[in-house]
Each structure stands twice: as structure tokens, then as C-alpha cells.
Structure 1
Amino acid sequence: MSELLDLVRQGDTAGAAALAADLTPEQRRAELPGLRARRKELRDSWTGRGDAWTALLVAGTACHTAPSAAADWLGSRVFEDFGGWKHPALLEAVERQSAEWRTTVLDRLAQRRAPGWGWSEHFRLLEHLVRTLDCPVPTADPFVVQWQRDRAFPQFDGGRPVGPDLYVRLAADPFTPVLAPRLFEVAEIGSDLDGPWSAPEEGRWPAVLARLAADGVLDRTDLLDRCLARLLRGGRPADQRVFLLVLRALAPDRDEYAARVRTLVGLLDGHSTVAGHAQQVLAALDTAGRLAPEVPAEVSATVLFRPEKKLVRAQLGWLDRAARTSPERAGPVVLAAAGAFGHADRGLQEQALKVIARHLAAAGPAVLPALREAAEQLDPAHHGRAAELFGAEVRTEEHGELLPPVPQPRPVPPPVATPAELAEELGAVVAGQDDVVAFERVLDGLVRHAWSDRQALAEALAPVLRVASWHRLHLVAEAAAGLMTPARAHAVAHGKEGGLRGYHGATGFDAQLASRIEEVVRRLAARPVPYLLATPTLATGALDAGVLVDRLAGYERLGVAAGPVDLAQAMLRVAPGADPAAVAAAGLLESPEGERLARWLRTGGLPRPVSVLLEPSTARPLGRRLSALRRMVEQPAAAGIEGFPRDTAQLLGPPALHGGPAPWWEPEPVPHWAAVLPHHREEVAARLLRQVAAVADLDSRGAARVLPYLAEADGPAGLAMHLAVVYGLGARHPEDRTAAVDALLVLAARGDLDGALLGREAAELVLLGAVKPNRLAAALRAAADTGAYGTVWSVLAAALPRLLGEAPPRAAGELLALGVDCAGRSAARGPIAEVTAVAGRGGTARTAREAKALAAVLAG
């Protein structure tokens, strides 16, 4: 160990600095490897004291003769959290270097990214270099950020800020005229300019910058242009808010704004707060006669299409005032106001019609053709008023019901042909490919190739098995390759190892899948079979009865006994009411399994019990809420399931847990669960209802993604299926609502949707507080926007009578507004008593307005 390194280890900063000053350049460079090793040692140990870091910082600075390497040393993040930057020895070490060395170090450090967490003391070193070198102030973004943070950081004494305030510091700072204008060009600095946090409003950056401009420290015109340019550039809302504060603090007068009208018009496309300010300024200029005649129409063309209702109302008010004060402008005003006819909000359309009605006479008949054309965008509820004003019937666009094509199940490809292809497919599934077809083909492929050529299979799987994985198929692959010891295979097969029955066993569906994997592992380790019986023939999980009979006949020819779980799963995947030819072929089977299958097919397979509503009086606590707040279902146990393995029988038993307490965590439903009972979606929905309900009344995420798979499956769609869709439509997270919308549209396309049932249950869930009406309205709006207006109206027509009782929910107006749109586009007619009653109550609330509009549409 060198003497210098020994002093550094002792934390003797003064001694290390003095010794380094006496070394030759060659000796200094020779010390660098030891100093770097010491830096790594301190960084890794996290036990170094502040003086140890300071001594290291100073010694390293003195020993780096190359300025680029010195900048890297000084700019290292490991030195940021220590106070060595204040030590006089550091400045002395820097001053001993040449001016060229210091200039290069300054240039490089000024461009190094500023610390992300806030203020850094090493800026003081950069400031010292600028002053002593008498060089131009660096203007790189990182230097500007560090300067801003340094100047805003107050001095404290006893926890209270002391010393000069921000204005005094900046006014006396020679850096201010150079760097303050650069604040408007640095990305995402707005949040930093919202301080200092300890100062009152007049002592923070926006007010201080305006005061500096007023006092001549900064060029006011330049600052104003930079501020507007920054707002025009856009950015994060918090960033825009701060620069808008700067603009308001600068308080431009009418002449300054009038000279920048084009910039103000450009701001109308920006953040709503910025656009609102620009709109107010432009309206004031118009009132003062400082705008060109075409500007209000140009502004309207931008603002009236924005979603913010406040901005649109303000714009219509501006147009109204303009026509009142200057009747000669009535023509351009009414044409500009017609731009709001295409707005999604019916109330704003009505306001635009009122503005036009007030000034139509002054505008003259020349505007009528354009107004009639624009009125085609109006909501059907306003067509009568538009026809009355503009003198002709408004053409109504005819909308036919548009539903997605009925999905056709994809056939499962043939078995995986080679071990190499199988290894590739296995790698994809283990890596996260969540696909029923891929999973089932790999599971079957492992069994097939273990039977035909285990050695070739083991060689092909070796690269995949070298990567550790907790995936179920990884366990099967180990057994198929002959790499699982008999003891471990026995433990896995009996549910004692492999994690197959940990949290995955929280539902009957995962328990059923765990049983299948356990059985496959046991048979691979003891007596392999040529293939699996339950591998589906369609992507939904369905299995052709004739194919199953042929597979079981192949087992009989080879003298292979069917696995109980494999056979049970295969029987559940066969459609009830199988083809008579398959039933006849099954009657020729001779094994006990064959006779059982023949009996199963002959008697119609698994029954389809009817879901019934769970009485609230029998409900018990469920999660954070009471299940009485939910609409849950129960089912009787399926008949004819005697002799099934334990997990299969429990899966098909009565879903008794539906009204019971939910576990602290449940796995998210996956497409594999729908594939367990591909012809019994109502039964699957009943057993998944608790998880799906949680996306609405417990705000969980992801469970609704199984709904499209259930909609594409076969079997009746009863109460449980429709309740599951309603819960999905009321989910908190948009992706869950999207999945529910997809399911609703698929059910409608297949003719399986009962709109009245869905609407009634939706209303009940809204009134019980399990589904928020605004979420339901957003989801139904998304469905309607695809063209399914008639389908959505069938739901609303059943939901609205129940919702419009004595105390309609606050968001009932949104559902009524959607009803106006859907009823109008689907030509629905016939009064709804509850809608008529709400419309007759009058009032200005949205619910009353929309009820009146819907009543008018239904009246024709």
C-alpha cells in the first residue's frame, strides 16, 4: 500500500492533498489504480465515513492529470451524497491544475446529467471554475438545472430559512441574465420552477422572473416570447401549469397580446388550462376590437371540437356576445356556432341551437343551406327543433345493426411431429404463451414422444430443461425425458411437490388441471401411454366424440388402460347429444373405460343445470363488502357424475363457496378454465362469478378477460353468464370493460344475448352499489360505437325503468343520453312510463334533460 492510499484510508484529507501536491505527474498516475479500488471498496461496503469519501475525492482529483478522466472521477455518482465538495483542499487541488485542464473539466461536468433527486453540492465547484477562469457561463441543460436548484435552495438556521430571498439572490447573480432565459428551453423543469416550497407566492420562481423582467434584469419581451413558445410546445400538465403561472405573472397588456394573436390561436390546441387562458385573452381582444374578423370563426373551429364542456360553453358564449354587440356579425357567428352540432354532449348541441335561434333573423336566409347540412350531425332529439329553425326536415342517417361475425372455433393442428419442434413449442409455453391450444399440444406431444423415442426427446429437451422454471409443463418435460427420480415423481403425482396445489389450487378448475398433470407425471415415470385422450380438437377445448372413441379403441388394441383423470376430462369435453355414429362406435368398445364412455354418450353426457339467484338472506361476508350487495347464483350438483375422480367430482359439485367468504387471494381466471367445460359456459360462469364480480365491486383487475372465451364457448347462456358480463361492464379497469364488451357483442352475434335479462340485472347491481353507473355507461357506449345500437338499446330499455325510480343514481343522465342515441339510431318507438315521468318533472339537471330528449325520440 502506498503512503497516499494509506492517508486516504485514514480519512486524512489534508495530508493526502499535501502529499499528492508533491508527487510528479507519473507518480500521480501510478496511484490511480489503488484509488479506484478504494472507491469500489467504499461503494460496495456502504460503511465508509464522510471523511473517508472526502479524502478519496480530493486525492483522486489531484492525481488525474488527464482532464477527461478527472471529469469522470468528479462526476461519479458515488460522490454525490457526501460533503467533500466544500472542503478547501478540493479547491486547492483543482487550482493546482492548468487552465486548460480546468476548462475541459468544466465543459464536461456542465454537460453531465444533473442528479435526479434534487440539489447537488458539486455545482459549487462548477461555479468556482466559471468565476476563476473568467469564461462564458455554460448553457448546457444540466448546468441550467443545477443552477436553478442551487439558487432556489434556501439556507436554514434552526429549521427556519434565513438569508436573502430568491429575488435578491437572482438580481445580484451574474449568471441570471444568461441562464434564466434558458429555463424556458430545458425539458421537464416546470415542477422545479414551482418553488421554493418555503417561500410565499410572491417569492417563487414565476413571480420572481416577472419581477426581474419588470426591473430590467431580464428582457421582458424576450421572456414573454419564450414563455409563450414553451406553452405552445406542450408537455406534461404540471409543466404547463407552472409556465402558465409565469405568463400570468408577466401580465402582458392588450398591445402585447394583440401582437401575438397567432401564438394564442396555436395555444387552443394545448392543455385545457392553457387553452382556456388563450380563449379568454382572445375573447377580450375581440371585445376590444383588436381581432381580425376571421379569427373568432377560426377559434371556434378548434374549440368547439374539444371534449372539455367548459371551453365549448365559453366559446358559444363568446359568439353570442359578439352577435349581440355587432348584429352585422350574425352570419359568421351562427355558422361558427353550428360547429358544436357535432359535439358528443347533447346539452352543448342544445346551447348552440339557442345561440343560432337568437341571431338567425339577423343572419338572414343565406346561412340556411349550410345550417341544414350541419344539422345532420345533431342528435335525433334535436332534429325537430332544427327543422323548425331552418325550414326543412333534417335528413336522418339510417343505421343498421352492426355486429361482429360469429366466431368459428379453430381446429387444433395435428400432433407435434418431431422432438425438436416439441422443444421449441415447450419453450414458448414455459416463457409465457398463455394459449389453450399450445398448452394441450405440448402436453400431448411430451406423452407421445416419450412413448415413441424417449432418448431423442431427452436430447431435444435438454436446452429447455437447463433453464429453471416453475411451469407445470416443465415438470412433465422432466418426467418425459426420464430426468425425474421415482421418489420425486411419486411426490409430484401425489400433490406433495411441484407447487401444483399451492395457490393454483384455490379453484376447482386449477385443481382439475393439477390432477391431470399429476396423473401424466405418474404414468410417464411408471408406464408411458401413446397419447392422451383429452387433447381437444377445437381451440375452445371441445373434443369430437368420434375422435375420442377412436383414441380409446387404440388404447384397447395396445392393451393400455386409460388414466381416470384423462378420461374424465375427455368426457367433459364432448358435446352433449353426440353424433349417433359416435354413439354406435362407442358401443363396440370392450374395456370398462369404453363401456363407461358409451354409457356417457348414450345418456347425453354432462347435464346443464339452471342457475338461480342466491337469496340475499343466505349470503355471508365476502371480501371487503357483503355479498348481499352482489347478485350471485347457485346451482345444484350435476347429475350422473358418479365414478369421476375426486377433483373432477368436486369441480362439478354445487358451487357452495359462492356465498361464502372469499380467500385473501384468488388466481385470475384464464382461458384454460373455459376449456375444461367447453360446452357448459353457464356452469363455468357460475363458478367464476365471485372472481368476475370483484372487478366491479372490489376494483380488482384481470378476471373479466375470460368472458370472451366463455361467449365463444357452447351451451346455454343463462343468469350466471349474463351477470358475469354485467360485472365486467362495470369493471374499474378499462381492459376488463373491453373484454366484457367483446363478450356482449359475441353473445349478440350468436343470438345468445338476452338484452332484457342483462338490463334488469345491470339495474339491480347499480342500485345495490356493486356496479357504478358511469362505468356501465362507458362500456355500453363502447359497444354502441361499434354499431350495435339495437343491442345496447335492448339492454337500456330494460334497465331504465328500474333505475328511474324515486331516487335515480347520479349518473343516470349518462345512461339516458346513451339511450337517446341508441333509440334514435335503431328507430326504437313506444313510450317508457318511467322515462316519461322523469321528463315531466322538469328541471335543468342532466337526468331531466336527457329523459325529455329520450321521451321525444320514443314518441317519434
Structure 2
Amino acid sequence: MTTGVLSGASDGKGVDALMKTVRAGRAAEVPALLEALDAAARLEALGQLKSLRSEVRTWNWNRWEETDRVRRALYVAGAGCHTGAAAAASWLGGRDLLSPRGGGGVLALRVLLDRTPVWRADVAHRLAARPAVAEDSYGLIRGLVEGSGAAVPATDGYVLGWARHITNGRLLENLRADPQTPVLVAHALSMQEAPDPLNWSVESGAATHWPSALAALTEEGVLDRAELVDLCVSRLLRGGRQRDLRLPLALLQLVPPTAEERRDRIADWIGMTADSTSPVAGYAQKILSGPALEGALPGGAFAEMTAGVLFRTEKKLLRAQLSLVNKVLARIPALSVEVLPVVADALGHDDTEIQGRALQVVARHLKSVDEGTRCDLAEAASSLLGPAHRPAAEGVFGSRVGKRELPPYEEILPPVPEPLFLPGPQGSLEELIEDLLVQQRRSSDAMEFERALDGLVRHAHLDREGLAERIREAFADAYWQPTGAGAGHADLDYFRHGPRGMDAILAALAGRVKRERIEAGRNQSVPMTSCAHGAMEVTQATRIWEIAHLIGGGKLPMLLATPTRHTGGIDPLDLVRRLKEYADAGLEPAPVDLGHALLRVRRQDASAGQAAEEAEALGSEAGKRLAAWLRSGSPLEATVRFHPRTEKGSGRWWLVDRILVEMAKSPEFRKEFPKTLHWLGGGLLPNARRCYHWEQVPERWATLLPADRELLAACLLSSMASGVEGDAARDATGPLTLLAEGEGQVGRAVALVLAFGLGCRDADDRLRAVDALLVLAARGDLDARQVGRDLAWLLAERSMKPNRLADAARTAAATGAYETVWTILSEALPKLLEAEQPVRGLGELLAVAADCVERCGATGQLAGLERHASARGTSQLVTQSRRLRNALRQGTDQGATETS
């Protein structure tokens, strides 16, 4: 293909000058130097440019400024020296050549303007088809396309670059003046993920508000109105995240479909009401309301729409649909036969308000249906309605709604989880290296981490030099290697702030970590002023440094503290066998490793007595310590208290600032265990120091205390408090699964972390707390009343929002644990009901309580309930108070709890 490269000097001076300029990073001078080179000289220069590109890839990070300049010059020079379109596009699309500061695209375009239009269009479309570079190369692509006569390259990457470039205070003028606007707007509306600039401004009056600008262009005729509406409807129908549907929804509101367009796409609107996000479903519901009230919506279609909406959970949509059904059936009674059976399904809705509204609709239009349909509706009311609405249903259907005979109530709890045992030791060296590389690329769980640690120690014992060599090869690009990412920072101590997972052990094997750093790490202790999270972090780090210190000698045959169960626990007889292997080899255990092993051993296991005898028979000091530890019962304890809440800004407002955790002093424990674990025996000051470890406790830390649940719960309190009050708290309840399936006594701390978990901001956190609560209940370890008292305190002082607790309680109850949930709520509600000013959302919590009472047949009285139940009005608080009062008065016999 003819490229239009000018003929000129073919000697080496021009090439040398070009390469010298590129090495100096003077990209602006490159176009002029290229003009003097003919095709042969450019081909010669290209080989040297490729070599320089490879060289630059090996430069250290501390040369980043030089690297950036040279890469920009390489980008321009390579573009001018390539003659083939595919090769040029590959060079221009190289991520290593694209400068983060930009500027190279303008110069590259300058050296390519002498190529043929077909060649430029080919390169442009190749670049536009590469998602990783098209957005950053927008200016170059556009320059290549313009004047070539080629079609607009409508790809996701190109549209992203265009949207970012064109969005400013003159958005409407820019869009109006750009001939590519119709094509690129159409593509933007079809993208699964909307470009960010299209959602920057949400106010219609803003200068960068895309919906307003596109609506104006539609009115002017720049954009085709029918095509725009079709694109928007199609995008909404495909669904997705709300942020990606915001533009098409706003456009349809500004450029509404005509009556004909609404009728032609009835099936689409019905689909949106059933499956799309709440705002989109609400919009489609309004669109369909007009045809429905006008009689233009067939009965089958209206019934389908109603069924889809009533299946949703958003109460606003359900109330609106029931209101619409009432109006439509009042105007067109003939539709009642098709629609009322669909409405009857809402009689079994979880929310009693929706049940009541559905019953009212059925009652008002019952006269419009035949006798067979009435019988079906009466049967639905009899089987679906709860006690709250059965009297009203009897008034509608008479004797057809008989008293429901229910079997004795049986509490359904999840099966007690079976223990999960860890696989045996790591296999071959290659399997270990592969596992370590996988863990470097993603976060490993605690047991994968523990198994890898044990594998390193075992293989170092068998062949330390062979393991070290494989570590150096496999982790050649690691930050701690001389040729790795940190090679340019000779003075940087990579391990200054900790062992970085197991990197310190790998570096110690490879001889890449200073001995003084290892010594300082393994001899560190937990400051008395540390928070519990800080103490757990130091304890974990000290263990890693100890392994890094000992692995160099290769003497340890294995780690004593490697768990045998997924909770972190070690079976007593397994630990005895490990100690015997140490004794037979004449080895003394590492202090921190042995300390961790003792903390993890399952003291309440049935084999603990036998293990204590066998450990004592070993005759070693470690065996005697294990025997004494197994017979010690519960040597570790913690007390939890709270500072009273004071005014904002005083330092005692947030829950996390008011927690006081005091470890019981145990001189014997501190005498027997290494100093890094002394904090567990009362080595921390019980002051309410703000915990700066944010909201997450790594699972790796939580496996430190699998046999002491109460102590572990006390250590989790500050992270759980952040999950309740923090704006961005996520995964705060991760360790609750290990806590629920662990061992040891259960007291106030466990009740508190469950209460905190049930009120977390994040829905997934609340779900994990519900799972933990049900597991504890199934194991017989749940103090439900204490959880309820702690919830009452949190709700009364406004540290927790009732709607979050209601969501968690509803989820727990729906599994069949109605009696358990009622026991918790019966303790939590009185303090809230007796308050002079009820907390907002109390009515929703009462609705869950009433449902539990109706299901499990509890009876009795609730302090403060009568005051609200006898009040006037129809608010949710008053309505649900009456429902709960009536349910407690009408209670049925309770059955036994079952685990299923």
C-alpha cells in the first residue's frame, strides 16, 4: 500500500540524529527529523526504536520522569517509521508507550498526515476497536478519521473519549457543532455501562446536563426523535445498574413517547414494571396507567402487569398498583374476573398493610365476578391472610373464610455445621510454589495462608537451598528482589511497617531481608496503649518474623500452630503427635509458634482428657505445658463496658469511641507465654482509645482465638461498631462465622457483636450476622434475651437504625426461627415503646414482631404496647401496635423446637 512517505536522506546521520533526540525525550523535535528520512532510513530507525523500547521496559521506577519523556518520543517516532497499518496501530496501541500526561497524539497525527486516506482510516478503526487504548487515543483517532471519508468509529472506547472531551460548560454548543454527534449519541445510549460524563450533572439546569442537551437537539431536529425514543426504551428494557439507566430514563421524561409509541410497546413497559430497577419500573407503571384507565390495555395485559408489580418488594410500587387496579376496575368492571385473582396473591404478602389494601380492592369489586371466582378468592383469603385481617375477610366472604386449623408450631433452625478439616501438608515443591504465586495475585483465606506457611517450613526442612532457589526464580519480580519493582529504591526498607503477609518469609529464604529487621520483628511486644486490633496485628506479625528467623536454619520439621479445622482450632491429639515428633528429634518448639498452638487447641474437645495424659507422658516441657493448658478450663476472660454517650465533638459520641475492653489479669499466663501474647493476660490498658484499624478484621487474625469465643468477640467490638455507624463500612461481620462455629464460653461480648451485626449498614453484613445468630441458636449457645437487651440500648440511644434491625430480624424469622426472633424482640421493644418520643421506624420493627407472634403463638404482655395500640390514627406504629397486641391476646399452643 502506498503510504506517502517522502524520499530524502538515506545515510545514517539522519537516523542517528533521530535516535539521539528520542533518547533525550525531545518528542516535539521528532516530526521535523522524520521528514528528512526516506523509507529505507525509516526502516533502519524502526529496528533501533524497537530495541530502545525493550530497554526502557527494564528501567527502574526512580527514572519515571525520563521514562515518560522517552516513551512519548518513541510513540511519535515509531508511528512515523511504520508503513503497514496493522503494525502502526499495534505500535500506537501499546500501553507502555501511552504517556499519562498525553501530548503524544498530536505529534503522532502530524507525522501521519502524509499517508493515504484509506491507510489513516484503517489505523483509526484498528485503534478504536481496542478498548484498552481507544479512550486515551481519542484525539489521534479523530484526527485520522477526519478528512479520510471513513465512517465514524463508534466503539465503547472512542465514545468514552469523545464524551470526556466534549463535556464542559458549552456542552450543548459542542454537541450541536459536532457532525459525529448523532452516531456517537446512538452508541452511548446502547452501551451496557454508561460513560461517566453522561451522569456527572443530575440537575436539569446544569450546563453539563446531558439529558437536557440531547432533548434540545431533538427539538431542533439534530437528533431523530423516534430513533432516540427507541434507543432509550431498548436500553431500559435490557436493564442493568441504576447509574447506567439514568440517562435513557431522564431522556424519556424530557422527550416523552407519543400515545402511539406507548401503545406499540406495551409488552416492553410491562416487562420493565416486573424486572427493572425501581425508578424505571415506576416510570413504566405511569406510562401504562393512561392506557389502562382509558381501556386501551387488554385485560390479560393489565393482569400480567399487576402480577409483575405485586411480586416486587417496593411498597411504593405495590401501593400505586393496587390504587390503579381499584380505579381501573371501577371504570371497567368486566376486567375484575381476570385481575382480582392476581390481586388475591397479595393477600399473602409479608407486609400486613399490603394485605389490607389488597383485601379492600377485592372487597370493593367482588360483586363484578362470578360465583366460581368468588369461591377461589375466599379460599385464597382463608389460606393466605394472617390473623390481623381475618375478621375483615370474614365480613367480606362470610362463613367461607373459616378458622384456620394450624399444626402445633415447630421452630426450624439450621443444622449444626459439620466441622471442616484442613487437607494434609503441602505436596510437592512445585505445588507449593504454584499455591504461593496464586496467593500473591489474590487474597487468600486464612486456612490457605496457614497451609502455605506450614508447607514452606516443611520443604525448608527437607531441602532449604532447593526451596530458596525456586523462590528466587518464581518471585524474580517481587518488590523485595534486587531486580524487582523496588530495585530503584536501594535505601527503602520494604518491611519497615511489617512482614507484608508472608513476603518476609519468602525474602528471608532468598536472603533479601536484613537480619536486624527480622530480629526487631520477632522480639517486638504489644504496647499497653494499643487497641485490640493493633494487638492482634502485632501478634500475627511476630509469628511471621519468628518463622522468617527459624526457616533459615531449616531445623523445624513443621509448625505446631497449623490449624486442623477451618475455624483455626487444633484437635488436641494432633498437637500431642506434633510435640512427640519434636521430642523424638530433640527439638525445642519456637516460643510464639507454641503459644499460638496452645491458644488454638480445642480445650473442650472430648479427647482433651486423653490428650492431656499423653502430653504429660512425653516428659518434655512443652508436653507439660499442653497438659496443664488442657486442664485449665477458661483461663482467659474479658470484660466489656461502655462510656456514657456525651455531646457531639466531646470525644464520647461515636460508639467506637466509647467501648472499654478489659482483659482479665493473669500472671500465670504472662509467665508461661511469650511477651507478644501478654496482652491477652491483661497487658492492655482498658482505655477507650480510638481504633484506627477501620472496620475490617482479617479472618487471619480471628483464627487466633478459636477456643475462646468471648475473648474473640471482645476483640471484634470496635470493628463491629464501625459497621453500625461507619459511612463506608463493609465486611465488618466477616469473622462472625468463625465465632459462631468456634468454641468456648458465650457471654456479653458475643451478644454485643451479634447485636452490632444485626444493625450494620451493609445488607451483606447483616446477612452474615443472621447466619451466625441462627448457628448459635442451633448449637444451643445463643443468649437471645441478652442480645435483645443490647439491641434495646443501641436503639434507644440512636446508635442503630430500627429499619436495619427490622430487615435482619425479618430475614432470620423467614427461615422458620420465629420464636427465637420474638425472644430477642420481646426484650428489645419495651424500652422503645415506653420512650416519650418513639424512634423512627419502630412501626416496621413491630410488624416483624407481630408476624413472629402470629406464627409461633406467643402470649403475654409487652410493656408500653397498650399506649400505642389504643392511640388514634392509622400510622404504621399505631396499626402494628394493635396487631401485635391482638396477636399476643390470641396466642396458640407452641410446639417444640426442631433442627432441620
Category of TM-score, reference length = shorter chain: 0.7 to 0.9
Select which of 111, 117, 120 maps to 2:139: 120
Whether 2:304 is the aligned partner of 1:298: answer yes
Select which of 313, 321, 332 maps to 2:319: 313
C-alpha contact (below 8 Å) 1:622/1:662 kept by paired residues: no
Q: Gaps (5+ residues) in structure 2?
A: 1-11, 58-62, 481-498, 891-900
Change (3 A) 1:561 1:146: closer
Q: Distance in 1 between matches of 2:123 and 2:362?
A: 68
Paired position in structure 2 for 1:683: 711
Matches within 5 A, 1:391-430: 391-393=400-402, 395=404, 400-410=410-420
**1:316 positional shift:** 1.3
Q: Which amino acid aligns with 1:748?
A: A
Paired position in structure 2 for 1:714: 743
Q: Distance in 2 between matches of 1:166 and 1:620?
A: 49
**1:831 positional shift:** 3.1
Q: Distance in 2 between matches of 1:445 and 1:587?
A: 28
C-alpha contact (below 8 Å) 1:622/1:659 kept by paired residues: no
**1:320 positional shift:** 1.0
C-alpha contact (below 8 Å) 1:320/1:333 kept by paired residues: no
Paired position in structure 2 for 1:157: none
**1:838 positional shift:** 1.9
**1:717 positional shift:** 0.7
Change (3 A) 1:632 1:415: same
Q: List per-residue Cα deviations over 1:328-347 (Å, max 9, x = no partner).
A: 44443433432433444332
Paired position in structure 2 for 1:230: 235
Change (3 A) 1:588 1:839: same
Paired position in structure 2 for 1:276: 282
Paired position in structure 1 for 2:248: 243
Q: Which amino acid aligns with 1:836?
A: E
Paired position in structure 1 for 2:880: 850
- SS of the counterpart of 1:120? helix
Matches within 5 A, 1:123-142: 123=142, 126-130=145-149, 137-138=151-152, 140-141=154-155
Q: Distance in 1 between matches of 2:82 and 2:165?
A: 30
Paired position in structure 1 for 2:8: none
Paired position in structure 1 for 2:862: 832
C-alpha contact (below 8 Å) 2:656/2:721 kept by paired residues: no
C-alpha contact (below 8 Å) 2:312/2:318 kept by paired residues: yes
Bigger mean CA offset, 687-696 vs 175-184: 175-184
**1:724 positional shift:** 1.8
Percent of pairs identical after alignment? 34
**1:547 positional shift:** 6.5
Bigger mean CA offset, 829-838 vs 144-153: 144-153
Q: Distance in 2 between matches of 1:216 and 1:554?
A: 86
Bigger mean CA offset, 768-777 vs 97-106: 97-106
C-alpha contact (below 8 Å) 1:729/1:741 kept by paired residues: yes
Query: Size of the alignment, in residue pairs?
Result: 835
Change (3 A) 1:17 1:627: closer
Q: List per-residue Cα deviations over 1:800-856 (Å, max 9, x = no partner).
A: 112222222212223222212322222223332323332222333322222222223
Q: Distance in 2 between matches of 1:707 and 1:392?
A: 45
C-alpha contact (below 8 Å) 1:423/1:461 kept by paired residues: no
**1:378 positional shift:** 4.0
Paired position in structure 2 for 1:730: 759
**1:299 positional shift:** 1.4
Select which of 802, 806, 811 maps to 1:773: 802
Bigger mean CA offset, 531-540 vs 766-775: 531-540
Whether 2:720 is the aligned partner of 1:692: answer yes
Whether 2:415 is the aligned partner of 1:385: answer no
Q: Distance in 1 between matches of 2:240 and 2:452?
A: 49
Q: Which amino acid aligns with 2:259?
A: R
**Structure number with larger C-alpha Rg:** 1
Q: Which amino acid aligns with 2:237?
A: L
**1:705 positional shift:** 2.3
Select which of 775, 787, 793 maps to 1:758: 787
Paired position in structure 2 for 1:289: 295
Q: Distance in 2 between matches of 1:569 and 1:195?
A: 52
C-alpha contact (below 8 Å) 2:68/2:99 kept by paired residues: no
Q: Distance in 1 between matches of 2:567 and 2:144?
A: 68
**1:317 positional shift:** 1.4
**1:753 positional shift:** 0.7
C-alpha contact (below 8 Å) 1:109/1:126 kept by paired residues: no
Whether 2:344 is the aligned partner of 1:338: answer yes
- SS of the counterpart of 2:411? coil
Q: Distance in 2 between matches of 1:138 and 1:585?
A: 81
Q: Which amino acid aligns with 1:123?
A: R
**1:643 positional shift:** 3.5
Select which of 844, 853, 861 maps to 1:823: 853
Change (3 A) 1:189 1:841: same
Paired position in structure 2 for 1:258: 263
Q: TM-score, normalised by structure 1?
A: 0.78
**1:535 positional shift:** 6.2
Bigger mean CA offset, 580-589 vs 365-374: 580-589
Q: Distance in 2 between matches of 1:169 and 1:816?
A: 60
Q: Distance in 1 between matches of 2:457 and 2:67?
A: 59
**1:706 positional shift:** 2.3
C-alpha contact (below 8 Å) 2:163/2:195 kept by paired residues: no
**1:647 positional shift:** 2.6
- SS of the counterpart of 2:297? coil
Paired position in structure 1 for 2:678: 650
**1:645 positional shift:** 3.3
C-alpha contact (below 8 Å) 2:416/2:779 kept by paired residues: yes
Paired position in structure 1 for 2:357: 351
Q: Distance in 2 between matches of 1:380 and 1:859?
A: 11
Q: Distance in 2 between matches of 1:279 and 1:431?
A: 47
Change (3 A) 1:814 1:631: farther
Paired position in structure 1 for 2:665: 637
Q: Distance in 2 between matches of 1:428 and 1:67?
A: 39
Matches within 5 A, 1:356-371: 356-371=362-377
Q: TM-score, normalised by structure 2?
A: 0.75
RMSD over aligned Cα atoms: 5.5
Q: Which amino acid aligns with 1:808?
A: P
C-alpha contact (below 8 Å) 1:838/1:848 kept by paired residues: yes
Bigger mean CA offset, 439-448 vs 747-756: 439-448
**1:109 positional shift:** 6.4
Q: Distance in 2 between matches of 1:82 and 1:447?
A: 49
**1:644 positional shift:** 1.7
Q: Distance in 1 between matches of 2:384 and 2:439?
A: 50
Paired position in structure 1 for 2:490: none
Q: Distance in 1 between matches of 2:849 and 2:686?
A: 33
Paired position in structure 2 for 1:801: 830
Q: Distance in 1 between matches of 2:422 and 2:92?
A: 63
**1:267 positional shift:** 3.4
Bigger mean CA offset, 719-728 vs 615-624: 615-624
**1:264 positional shift:** 3.0
Q: Distance in 1 between matches of 2:67 and 2:455?
A: 58
C-alpha contact (below 8 Å) 2:647/2:653 kept by paired residues: no
C-alpha contact (below 8 Å) 1:729/1:776 kept by paired residues: yes
Q: List per-residue Cα deviations over 1:766-786 (Å, max 9, x = no partner).
A: 223333333323333332233
Change (3 A) 1:742 1:659: farther
Q: Distance in 1 between matches of 2:68 and 2:435?
A: 55
Q: Distance in 2 between matches of 1:12 and 1:441?
A: 52
**1:761 positional shift:** 0.8
- SS of the counterpart of 1:705? coil
Q: Distance in 2 between matches of 1:458 and 1:578?
A: 40
C-alpha contact (below 8 Å) 2:154/2:183 kept by paired residues: no
**1:93 positional shift:** 7.3
Change (3 A) 1:649 1:728: same
Change (3 A) 1:92 1:634: closer
Q: List per-residue Cα deviations over 1:452-476 (Å, max 9, x = no partner).
A: xx45454356424664684676767
Q: List per-residue Cα deviations over 1:4-32 (Å, max 9, x = no partner).
A: 98599699999967994x97655665665
Q: Gaps (5+ residues) in structure 1?
A: 155-159
- SS of the counterpart of 1:401? strand
